[in-house]
């Protein structure tokens, strides 16, 4: 396809999307109205209803849809609760076209009006160009933008430039229960012909400038438990004559990180890759409003003063955060009790090349070393109940090149190449199981407030996001075709 004919095609598609944007907003309104909260068991039927709604939308496009039953899971009270099915959808089987697999989710975080929402969280409300509602940006809006882009090709009776595979789930906000097992089971079947994987379940770093995400940190969560006996004690009767568990625990937690934020566990930085000049240059052009980020946080001062230092410590260096103490009295007022057992909770956001098992060993050895020097008669137990690995991919592969061109076409500027300081297990999951290129392709702005009160996606981002996905289909098709032709020529020579 020539660049001129591609431009004509894009103009036709973009015009269709502009003309039908009201319809696209109406569908998003229908989806937001479904309280598909996967966290609260009482709303599981709503999640299942949402999955059926999404399946219907794909079937209208002509996709073959399979709602895969994942069985049930057990709640802490012993009750069995059905898991919502996962959608495996397929559209197009042209052997000349690349096959792109899109992942998204249609479950949401809990939301109530009295949490501080200005509008009903389950009634999509447009104010000053912003579409407010739970799930608008995380993740119903981006899922629909992808589907809307496919619809534009179908409605205009245009040949599909790529074959599509859809993976849409309803348990992402509750840990994607059953998804990894399903991906493993379908690796040689449903996913056997997948060339590329695209995930649109995160945000830009900026409110205005598009971004493409190529990495995220992992997360290793720890419990450190100190126990002195089998019951709580009165501080007037036993205070001053026993070695209190809380005193031990506070000393242990205090040993983990220094006032500059540097982790004090020996060896923890040994595997962190050195910063290359090429990577350092990526940070220079990134649009990031340090003052706005500070204002959003509500704190007066960050540990670092420049944009580059902040982003480096958010993305490519590990961090340690202390989250709480279980077993201690935390209600208003004073309760003069010595708790028998206290558990400190902290996590380490680890970066690529850090090994989870090595991190666990380093943490255990450090805490046991600190504890032994206290000569405490109490019992210490350190555990890692949850460990999720980091994700990193190359930005010079066809996926990122195609997305960059699409963004330039629609938004008129090159995107920032960004990483995410939080953990995106699904990206690592797809990359490990599929052994294919994975890209995080967000369309939501930094101020969309995912998981927060007044979550929104702007009408602009929703509609232009639909266009950018449509442009991406054309670009990845061209790039893939070019790579295929180049490979064939080299083979023949």
Q: What amino acid positions are annotated as catalytic residues?
A: 107, 172
- Distances in whole angstroms, Cα of residue 384 to Cα of each of 276, 357, 426: 32, 10, 20
CB 391 within 8 A of CB 431: yes
Q: Are 216 and 318 in contact (CB under 8 A)?
A: no
Question: Measured between alpha carbons, how far is 458 from 25 in angstroms, rounded to an integer?
Answer: 11
Six-digit token string for 168: 């849409």
Element holding 90 (H helix, E strand)? strand 86-91
Instruction: Report in angstroms the alpha-carbon separations of 33 from 79, 132, 172, 322, 357.
Output: 28, 11, 19, 37, 43
Q: How far apart are CA 185 and CA 177, in angstroms?
A: 14
State how far the Cα of 365 lies from the Cα of 342, in Å rounded to an integer.
20
Phi, psi of 139 (to 5 degrees): -145, 15
Distance CA 367, CA 246 (A): 15
- Distance between CA atoms of residues 464 and 444, nearest Å: 11
Rounded to 5 degrees, φ, ψ at 211 are -140, 155
Which residues have a Cβ under 8 Å from the Cβ of 198 and sit 6 or more positions away? 100, 101, 102, 103, 399, 438, 439, 441, 472
Query: How far is it, in rounded angstroms, from Cα 308 to Cα 282?
Result: 10
CA-nearest of 388, 220, 211, 419 to 315 is 419
Edge-to-edge strands, sheet with 125-127 = 125-127, 130-132, 456-458
Residue 352 to residue 354: CA distance in whole angstroms: 6
Non-local (6+) Cβ contacts of 330 within 8 A are none
> Which is it for strands 437-440 and 196-199: parallel, antiparallel or unpaired?
parallel
Cα gap 293→299, rounded to integer Å: 10
């Amino acid at each position: 396809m020539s660049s001129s004919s591609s431009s004509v095609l894009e103009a036709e598609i973009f015009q269709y999307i502009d003309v039908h944007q009201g319809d696209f907003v109406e569908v998003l309104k229908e989806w937001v109205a479904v309280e598909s909260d996967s966290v609260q068991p009482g709303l599981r039927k709503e999640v299942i209803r949402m999955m059926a709604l999404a399946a219907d939308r794909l079937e209208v496009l002509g996709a073959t849809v399979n709602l895969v039953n994942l069985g049930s899971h057990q709640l802490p009270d012993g009750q069995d609760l059905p898991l919502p099915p996962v959608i495996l959808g397929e559209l197009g089987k042209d052997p000349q076209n690349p096959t792109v697999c899109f992942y998204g989710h249609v479950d949401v975080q809990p939301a109530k009006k009295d949490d501080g929402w200005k509008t009903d969280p389950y009634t999509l409300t447009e104010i000053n160009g912003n579409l407010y509602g739970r799930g608008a940006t995380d993740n119903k809006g981006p899922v629909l933008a992808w589907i809307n882009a496919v619809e534009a090709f179908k409605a205009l009776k245009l040949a599909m430039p790529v074959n599509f595979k859809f993976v849409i789930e309803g348990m992402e906000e509750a840990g994607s229960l059953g998804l990894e097992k399903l991906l493993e089971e379908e690796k040689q079947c449903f996913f056997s012909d997948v060339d590329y994987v695209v995930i649109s379940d995160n945000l830009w770093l900026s409110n205005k400038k598009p971004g493409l995400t190529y990495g995220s940190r992992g997360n290793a969560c720890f419990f450190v438990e100190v126990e002195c006996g089998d019951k709580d004690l009165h501080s007037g009767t036993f205070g001053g004559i026993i070695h209190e568990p809380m005193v031990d625990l506070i000393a242990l937690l205090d040993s983990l990180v220094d006032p500059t934020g540097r982790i004090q566990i020996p060896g923890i930085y040994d595997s962190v890759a050195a910063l290359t000049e090429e990577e350092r240059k990526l940070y220079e052009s990134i649009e990031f409003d340090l003052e706005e980020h500070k204002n959003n946080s509500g704190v007066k001062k960050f540990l670092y003063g420049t944009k580059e230092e902040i982003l480096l410590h958010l993305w490519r260096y590990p961090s340690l955060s202390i989250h709480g103490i279980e077993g201690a009295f935390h209600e208003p007022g004073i309760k003069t009790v010595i708790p028998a057992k206290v558990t400190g909770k902290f996590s380490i956001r680890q970066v690529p090349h850090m090994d989870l098992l090595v991190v666990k060993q380093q943490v255990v050895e450090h805490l046991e070393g600190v504890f032994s020097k206290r000569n405490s008669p109490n019992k210490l137990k350190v555990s890692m109940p949850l460990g999720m690995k980091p994700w990193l991919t190359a930005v010079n592969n066809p996926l990122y090149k195609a997305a960059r061109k699409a963004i330039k076409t629609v938004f008129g500027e090159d995107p920032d190449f960004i990483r995410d300081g939080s953990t995106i297990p699904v990206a690592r999951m797809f990359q490990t199981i599929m052994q294919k290129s994975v890209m995080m392709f967000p369309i939501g702005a930094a101020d969309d407030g995912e998981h927060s009160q007044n979550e929104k996606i702007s009408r602009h981002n929703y509609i232009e996001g639909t266009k950018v996905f449509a442009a991406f289909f054309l670009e990845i098709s061209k790039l893939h075709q070019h790579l295929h032709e180049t490979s064939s020529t080299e083979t023949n020579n």
